[in-house]
C-alpha cells in the first residue's frame, strides 16, 4: 500500500508556458482522488508527471517515502488506464489482460490464475477467447481495467477512461470502476473533465483551473462550501446561478439589477464575514434547487422572465432571465455598453407538476439560508 504526495509541483515548458503551478496534493493509501477541471487546465499534465511521462520542472513526487522524480516510468510500480483502451487487436481478451505479466516473465500458471481472477471480478469470464473487435465499448474498457489490475500496482492512474462510452454505459461503468477500486484498495488518481463523474466517484475531488488547485475536498463539501466562484460555477449540474449584486448599507437587502431582495438575519449568522461587505459589491450565488416557483408566503424573491422549460419527467428545469449581470465560471461578463443592463441567465429546479408558461414573468422565491457570497475581487468565498 502506497501514499502518493505531490509537493510544490510545477511544470514549465521550454517556451516558458507554466502548465502547473505549485501543486500540493496527497493521495492516501487506498484512496480514490479525482482530478477535475475544464479542458486545458493541466490535469492530464499532472497525471503524466506522476506516471513519469512528463518531466517535473520543480517540486517533489513521493511514493510512500521514496522520491520518484528521476525514476523511470517502468520502475514506478504504476498501472495506467487510458481513454482509448489501447488493446492489442490481434490478441484475445485473456492475452491482452496477461500481456504485462508475460513481459515480466511471470510463470504461466500464475499468469493464468491472476488473469482468471481479474476476469471474474470484471465479469469477463465468458469473453476470454474473444478479440477486442468482438466486444462492446464497456467490455473493452473492462479489459483495459483487467490489464492494469493483474499487475497488482501500488498506484492506479486513469486518464478519462469513460469518455468514449455512451451516456448510459458511462453511468454503469462509473459504479463498476468505483467498486473495483474499493475492492483492490490501491491509491488511485483519476482524471476527468466531467464534474458529475468526479462527484459520484471520488473519495475526494481536486478542482484544477489554469494549472492551479482551486479546492480539494470530499464531494459534498465542494458542493455546499465552494472555496471560490470558479468552483461554485463548475461543480453542480445545472451549475450555481451567480450574479453581480450590491449589498445595502444596513445589510437588510441585496440589489440585484433593478430589484431588491430582502436578506433575513439568518444570512449573517451563516456568513459572519458578510458584515464587512455592507454597502459593497458582492457576487451572490444560489443553486437551482434553492429557487422556488411558486414562492412561499413571506419568502424573499425576485421577478424573472421565463425563457425555456425543460421537462425531465421527475422535475422541471426553468430557464429565466433577470436584469442583473451574470457571472460565468467565476468571471463577470463584460458589459459592451457601460449604461446597458446585461440580462442575467438563471435556472430554477421545480417539481414536475408546476404550472408555468414560457414568456411569463413570475416571482421566484429564494431560500435565503442557502445563498452563497463571493468577493468580486478574486472570487474567494465569504464565510467566517
Query: What is the set of domains in the chain, with CATH numbers?
Result: 4-233 (3.40.50.300), 239-374 (2.40.50.140)
Phi-psi region of 62 (alpha: psi -120 to 50; beta: other; left: phi over 0): beta
What mean pLDDT do residues 237-262 have? 94
What's the Cα-to-Cα distance from 337 to each of 168, 321, 333, 341, rounded to whole Å?
45, 19, 12, 8
Average of per-residue pLDDT across 118-134:
90
The model's pTM is 0.88
pLDDT band at 177 (very low <50, low <70, confident <90, very high): confident
End-to-end CA distance of the chain: 38
Buried b (16+ CB within 10 A) or exposed e, 246-265: bbeeebebbebbebbbebee
Which grid coordinates belong to 243?
450574479
Per-residue pLDDT, 340: 40
Residue range 293-351, pLDDT digits in tens: 999 999 999 999 999 999 999 999 999 999 999 987 655 544 444 334 446 899 999 99
Amino acid at each position: 500500500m502506497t501514499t502518493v504526495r505531490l509537493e510544490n509541483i510545477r511544470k514549465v515548458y521550454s517556451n516558458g508556458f507554466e502548465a502547473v503551478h505549485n501543486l500540493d496534493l496527497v493521495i492516501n493509501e487506498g484512496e480514490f482522488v479525482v482530478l477535475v477541471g475544464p479542458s486545458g487546465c493541466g490535469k492530464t499534465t499532472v497525471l503524466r508527471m506522476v506516471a513519469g511521462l512528463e518531466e517535473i520542472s520543480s517540486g517533489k513526487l513521493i511514493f510512500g517515502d521514496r522520491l520518484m522524480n528521476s525514476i523511470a516510468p517502468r520502475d514506478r510500480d504504476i498501472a495506467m488506464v487510458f481513454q482509448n483502451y489501447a488493446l492489442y487487436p490481434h490478441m484475445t481478451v485473456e492475452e491482452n489482460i496477461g500481456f504485462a505479466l508475460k513481459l515480466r516473465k511471470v510463470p504461466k500458471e500464475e499468469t493464468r490464475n491472476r488473469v482468471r481472477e481479474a476476469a471474474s471480478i470484471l465479469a469477463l469470464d465468458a469473453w476470454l477467447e474473444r478479440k477486442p473487435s468482438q466486444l462492446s465499448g464497456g467490455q473493452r474498457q473492462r479489459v483495459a481495467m483487467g490489464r492494469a489490475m493483474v499487475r497488482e500496482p501500488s498506484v492506479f492512474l486513469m486518464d478519462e477512461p469513460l469518455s468514449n462510452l455512451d451516456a448510459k454505459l458511462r453511468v454503469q461503468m462509473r459504479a463498476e470502476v468505483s467498486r473495483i477500486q474499493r475492492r483492490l484498495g490501491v491509491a488511485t488518481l483519476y482524471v476527468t473533465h466531467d464534474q458529475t463523474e468526479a462527484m459520484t466517484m471520488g473519495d475526494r475531488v481536486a478542482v484544477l483551473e489554469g494549472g492551479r488547485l482551486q479546492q480539494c475536498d470530499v464531494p459534498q463539501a465542494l458542493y455546499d462550501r465552494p472555496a471560490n466562484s470558479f468552483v461554485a460555477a463548475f461543480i453542480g449540474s445545472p451549475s450555481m446561478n451567480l450574479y453581480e449584486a450590491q449589498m445595502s448599507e444596513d445589510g437588510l437587502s441585496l440589489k440585484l439589477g433593478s430589484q431588491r431582495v430582502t436578506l433575513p438575519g439568518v444570512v449573517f449568522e451563516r456568513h459572519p464575514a458578510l458584515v464587512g461587505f455592507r454597502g459593497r459589491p458582492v457576487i451572490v450565488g444560489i443553486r437551482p434547487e434553492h429557487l422556488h416557483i411558486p414562492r412561499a408566503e413571506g419568502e424573499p424573491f425576485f421577478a424573472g422572465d421565463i425563457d425555456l422549460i425543460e421537462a425531465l419527467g421527475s422535475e422541471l428545469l426553468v430557464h429565466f432571465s433577470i436584469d442583473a449581470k451574470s457571472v460565468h465560471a467565476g468571471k463577470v461578463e463584460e458589459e459592451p455598453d457601460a449604461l446597458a443592463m446585461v440580462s442575467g441567465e438563471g435556472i430554477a429546479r421545480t417539481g414536475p407538476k408546476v404550472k408555468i408558461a414560457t414568456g411569463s414573468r413570475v416571482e421566484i422565491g429564494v431560500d435565503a439560508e442557502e445563498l452563497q457570497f463571493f468577493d468580486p475581487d478574486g472570487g474567494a468565498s465569504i464565510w467566517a
